Amino acid sequence: MSKSDKFERLRDMREKSLAGGGPERIQKQHDSGKLTARERINILLDKESFEEIGALVQHRCRDFGLDKQQFPGDGVVTGYGKIDGRPVYVYSQDFTVLGGSLSETHAEKICKIMDLAMKNGVPVIGLNDSGGARIQEGVVSLGGYAEVFWRNSMASGVIPQLSAVMGPCAGGAVYSPAITDFIFMVQDTSFMFVTGPNVVKTVTHEEVSSEDLGGASAHSTKSGVCHFTSENDAECLMQLRKIYQYIPQNCEEKTPLQKSAEPNSQAAKALDDIIPDSPNKPYDIKDVITGIVDADSFMEVHENYADNIVVGFARLDGRSVGIVANQPLSLAGC
């Protein structure tokens, strides 16, 4: 093979990698209200900051017809980039390629950027859109998940780990997000469950919808697994960018200092009279928080879960702080 032929083959593989599962599957992804893996990365990261790793990786399985289904990149886009000028590692699963299922090489790509994130002391963000383990690979695929989970555990408390569940994720595809620091979900299009409704019906004879079993509302109000919910993919990715402003790069560094801002003047003035004379009369603790912290800086975590307590991030004089406050409006804050 001549040099020009090799370059032509390289260009061809790169184009296939960028195309994911092809135009029809991409259109189906859009029709279901979801963005593609690469579109999500483009919104999440600063413009033209993304550097891809492992774009041409392909799976090694030759069983059950997989030898005829080869996709450069193997269903996950991995690499590094910047958010507001700060470095971050990211992986984004591609549902258009074999349902975003995790194979041995798919897992190796994720593990590689997690190792690099730990080595460099940089946060890692996972955009999850996967049906779980690639069943054709059997135990090899499950072993790949074990490697990912181990790295999640080792990275815990060392670097921030953020997970966005952006599709119908089942099995291993949600075990990993569940042990990361913060989980983001999208209303109506993202689901988290050990197994889907069909398996539940087969085993327990109980009929349950995907939304009731593991939708964003179920996990943000009942289980508490989900910390933030969004109306669509773009809003979810902007929330990820926002929370990145409040967290450090790793356990050794401080959070970035933002430009100082005065508290909301009207809310600050109301603090003089906000606590009622009667101890039996409730008031909204969020009004107190708004009057103390820098204007428009409060970002509530678990907004729809456990109403009797309010937690979140904010800034005081430009510095990132955590807020924990009892909420008298609900159960007297007990």
Q: What is the pLDDT of residue 42?
A: 95
- Pure H helices in the chain: 3-19, 23-31, 37-44, 104-120, 139-155, 172-178, 197-204, 210-214, 216-218, 233-243, 265-270, 285-292
Which structural domains are found in the chain, ordered by start?
3-243 (3.90.226.10), 265-333 (no CATH)
Q: What is the pLDDT of residue 72?
A: 80
Positions in the chain whose pLDDT score sits under 50: none
| Predicted confidence (pLDDT) per residue in 183-200, tens digit | 999 999 999 988 888 888
| Predicted confidence (pLDDT) per residue in 305-314, tens digit | 999 999 999 9
Nearest CA-CA partner of 144 in 209, 60, 33: 60
| Calpha distance 213→192 (Å, rounded) | 8
What Å distances lie between residue 17 and 38, 53, 76, 91, CA to CA?
A: 10, 12, 10, 15
Q: What is the pLDDT of residue 266?
A: 85
Q: What is the pLDDT of residue 6?
A: 82
| Calpha distance 85→238 (Å, rounded) | 15
3-state SS class at 124:
strand
Q: What is the pLDDT of residue 8?
A: 83
Q: What is the pLDDT of residue 299?
A: 95
3-state SS class at 264:
coil
Q: What is the pLDDT of residue 182?
A: 96
Q: What is the pLDDT of residue 21?
A: 81
Q: What is the pLDDT of residue 274?
A: 87
Structure tokens at 195: 């197994």
Nearest CA-CA partner of 17 in 54, 72, 98: 72
